[in-house]
């Protein structure tokens, strides 16, 4: 294939999925160094790629506003074209419609399911996704351009100066980042959440060793964060559940280590080269574990786990054992090992 003038990457959401797709952008930049690369994201996610050195332009897909419906998607196509190579990692109806309007010279699509697998997914009987890792899946669809390669890159996330300054101001009022442990207590899917009382125990044990604790999240995590604080014996150093994804990334970048269930911020930390302890239950770490220099996955080996690709609203057998049996002592031991803190 000749050098495309304009490459469009589509990965609209969510936090972890976008971050795990960034090695593909690096691969495309290596293959096509002179191409202009645009990344299309949903509104609110541009902070995850806007500072990426492989990306020339970030465009937001405002599918509930300016780009709503077929007419809005046609208008978006007008903003983006001409596109010589379209790489669609989302593969949704609206991205397929956008591709039809764009008519790129070449298109690569990550097809998640085929045939009967689509029907099974629609009725909640989706096959459990294991290896290869999602990063490899994104990279594999580009092998046609360069052949299979051994350099499987780790995800990349860049915090801009404004967000870094914001984080420094927040932390300066509360703690020293030299001993700051970031804890994410919540996930979108309840089955992936570690019990609030366990998170509280972990935070209290860290505080007792002189570490600072930041309970972190977004607007949707406020109730879960409050539940953790109410279960703690001491008070956390600070709680931060507001702001943009860029500001959250700034705070994560200042942490010494992050503890998180299988959710976007775990990938955010790994991409920022912050050590991560990721707590897995219903989902497969073979497929979704954060990728970075110091990423530890803790999970309870059970016959029923993994049972889901993304988690769910309730445990199918009603026990929630995969997260309930993952005790705070085990997590804090791993955390102290990473921080090189001996036993008291």
Do 118 and 251 fall into the same domain?
no
Do 257 and 183 fall into the same domain?
yes
- Give the 3-state secondary structure of 252-293: HHCCCEEEEECCHHHHHHHHCCCCEEEEECCCCHHHHCCCCC
pLDDT digits (tens, 9 = 90+) for 299-311: 999 999 999 988 9
Of 23, 15, 40, residue with least CA distance to 249: 15
Helices (H), the chain: 15-20, 22-31, 69-80, 93-102, 116-122, 134-140, 143-146, 161-172, 196-208, 222-231, 245-253, 264-271, 285-288, 321-324, 328-339
Maximum Cα interatomic distance, the chain, rounded to a whole number of Å: 64
pLDDT of residue 281: 96
C-alpha to C-alpha distance for 142 and 165, rounded to whole angstroms = 37
Do 95 and 233 fall into the same domain?
no
Burial of 224 (0-12, 13-18, 19+ CB in 10 A): buried
Report how many domains make up the chain: 2
User: Would residue 113 count as lying in a domain?
Assistant: yes
Burial of 213 (0-12, 13-18, 19+ CB in 10 A): buried
Do 130 and 189 fall into the same domain?
no
322: domain CATH number is 3.40.50.2000
User: Would residue 344 count as lying in a domain?
Assistant: no
pLDDT of residue 133: 94
Which residues are 261's β-sheet partners?
279
pLDDT of residue 147: 55
Range of the domain at 333: 161-339
Residue-level pLDDT, tens digit, the chain, 344 residues: 688 999 999 999 999 999 999 999 999 999 999 999 999 999 999 999 999 999 999 999 999 999 999 999 999 999 999 999 999 999 999 999 999 999 999 999 998 755 544 445 544 567 787 889 999 999 999 988 775 454 668 999 999 999 999 999 999 888 766 799 999 999 999 999 999 999 999 999 999 999 999 999 999 999 999 999 999 999 999 999 999 999 999 999 999 999 999 999 999 999 999 999 999 999 999 999 999 889 999 999 999 999 998 898 999 899 999 999 999 999 999 999 999 987 65
Do 177 and 314 fall into the same domain?
yes
pTM, two decimal places: 0.93
Q: What is the DSSP string of 182-207?
A: EE----SSGGGPPPHHHHHHHHHHHH
According to DSSP, residue 179 is labeled G
Do 88 and 139 fall into the same domain?
yes
pLDDT of residue 343: 64
Do 201 and 225 fall into the same domain?
yes
pLDDT of residue 13: 96
Do 171 and 299 fall into the same domain?
yes
User: Would residue 152 count as lying in a domain?
Assistant: no
Count the neighbouring beta carbons within 10 Å of the beta carbon of residue 182. 27
Do 50 and 125 fall into the same domain?
yes
Tokens 């399911």 locate to 113
Tokens 């990473």 locate to 338
For the record, the structure tokens of 72 come out as: 């809005």
Do 175 and 133 fall into the same domain?
no
pLDDT digits (tens, 9 = 90+) for 173-196: 887 667 999 999 999 999 999 999
């Amino acid at each position: 294939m000749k050098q495309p003038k304009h490459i469009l990457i589509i990965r609209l959401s969510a936090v972890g999925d976008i971050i795990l797709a960034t090695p593909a952008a690096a691969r495309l930049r290596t293959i096509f160094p002179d191409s202009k690369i645009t990344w299309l994201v949903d509104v609110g996610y541009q902070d995850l790629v806007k500072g990426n050195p492989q990306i020339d332009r970030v465009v937001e897909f405002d599918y509930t506003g300016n780009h709503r419906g077929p007419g809005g998607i046609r208008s978006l196509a007008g903003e983006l074209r001409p596109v010589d190579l379209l790489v669609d990692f989302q593969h949704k109806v609206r991205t397929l419609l956008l591709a039809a309007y764009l008519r790129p010279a070449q298109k690569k699509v990550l097809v998640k399911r085929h045939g009967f697998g689509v029907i099974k997914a629609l009725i909640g009987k989706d096959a459990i996704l294991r290896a290869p890792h999602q990063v490899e899946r994104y990279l594999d669809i580009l092998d046609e351009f360069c052949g299979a390669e051994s350099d499987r890159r780790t995800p990349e996330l860049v915090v801009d100066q404004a967000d870094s300054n914001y984080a420094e101001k927040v932390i300066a009022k509360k703690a020293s980042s030299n001993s700051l442990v970031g804890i994410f207590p919540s996930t979108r899917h309840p089955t992936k959440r570690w019990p609030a009382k366990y998170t509280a125990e972990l935070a209290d044990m860290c505080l007792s060793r002189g570490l600072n604790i930041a309970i972190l999240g977004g607007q949707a995590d406020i109730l879960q964060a409050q539940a953790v604080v109410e279960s703690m014996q001491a008070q956390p150093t600070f709680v931060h559940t507001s702001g943009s994804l860029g500001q959250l990334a700034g705070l994560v970048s200042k942490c010494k280590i992050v503890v998180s269930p299988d959710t976007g911020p775990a990938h955010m930390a790994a991409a920022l080269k912050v050590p991560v302890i990721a707590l897995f239950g219903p989902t497969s770490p073979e497929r979704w574990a954060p990728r970075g220099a110091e990423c530890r996955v803790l999970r309870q080996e059970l016959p029923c786990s993994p049972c889901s690709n993304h988690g769910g609203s309730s445990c199918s057998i009603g026990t929630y054992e995969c997260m309930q049996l993952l005790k705070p002592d085990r997590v804090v031991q791993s955390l102290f090992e990473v921080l090189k803190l001996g036993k008291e």
